[in-house]
Amino acid sequence: MPAAPTPRYYTVSWDQLHRDSKALAWRLVERGPFRGVCAITRGGLIPAAIVARELECRIIETVSVVTYDEELRGEPLVVKPPAAAGDGEGWLLVDDLVDTGTTARVVRAILPRAHFATVYAKPAGKPLVDTFITEVSQDTWILFPWDTEAQFVAPIARARNNGG
Q: Could you tell me if residue 21 is inside a domain?
A: yes
Q: Could you tell me if residue 2 is inside a domain?
A: no
Instruction: Given the residues 15, 69, 95, 130, select the one marked as catalytic.
Output: 95
Instruction: Given the residues 15, 69, 99, 139, select the one marked as catalytic.
Output: 99
Where are the strands (E) in 12-139, listed by range? 36-41, 60-69, 72-80, 91-98, 115-121, 131-135
Confidence of residue 35 (pLDDT cuts 50, 70, 90): very high
Confidence of residue 92 (pLDDT cuts 50, 70, 90): very high
Average pLDDT over residues 100-123: 96
How does pLDDT run across 38-76, given as a tens digit for each residue?
999 999 999 999 999 999 999 999 999 987 665 566 788
Average pLDDT over residues 115-119: 98
Which pLDDT score is estimated for 151? 81
**Count of the separate structural domains present in the chain:** 1
Average pLDDT over residues 12-30: 97
Which pLDDT score is estimated for 64? 96
- 15 noted as active-site residue: no
Which pLDDT score is estimated for 163? 60
- 69 noted as active-site residue: no
Question: How does DSSP classify residue 43?
Answer: T
Q: Could you tell me if residue 18 is inside a domain?
A: yes
- 147 noted as active-site residue: no
- Spatial distance between the Cα atoms of 106 and 99, rounded to a whole number of angstroms: 13
143 pLDDT exceeds 70?
yes
135 pLDDT exceeds 60?
yes
Amino acid at 40: I
- Express as a percent the part of the chain with pLDDT over 90: 76
Query: Which one is predicted more confidently, 28 or 159?
Result: 28
Which pLDDT score is estimated for 12? 96
Which pLDDT score is estimated for 79? 93
15: closest CA among 46, 58, 59? 46
Of all residues in the chain, what percent are helix, strand and coil, respectively (each to 5)? Answer: 30, 30, 35
Q: Which residues form the domain of 77?
A: 8-161
Neighbours of 70 (CB within 10 A): 6
Q: Does the N-terminal peptide bond of residue 113 adopt cis geometry, omega within 30 degrees of 0?
A: no
Tell me, what CATH number does 155's domain have? 3.40.50.2020
Which pLDDT score is estimated for 87? 96
Confidence of residue 156 (pLDDT cuts 50, 70, 90): confident
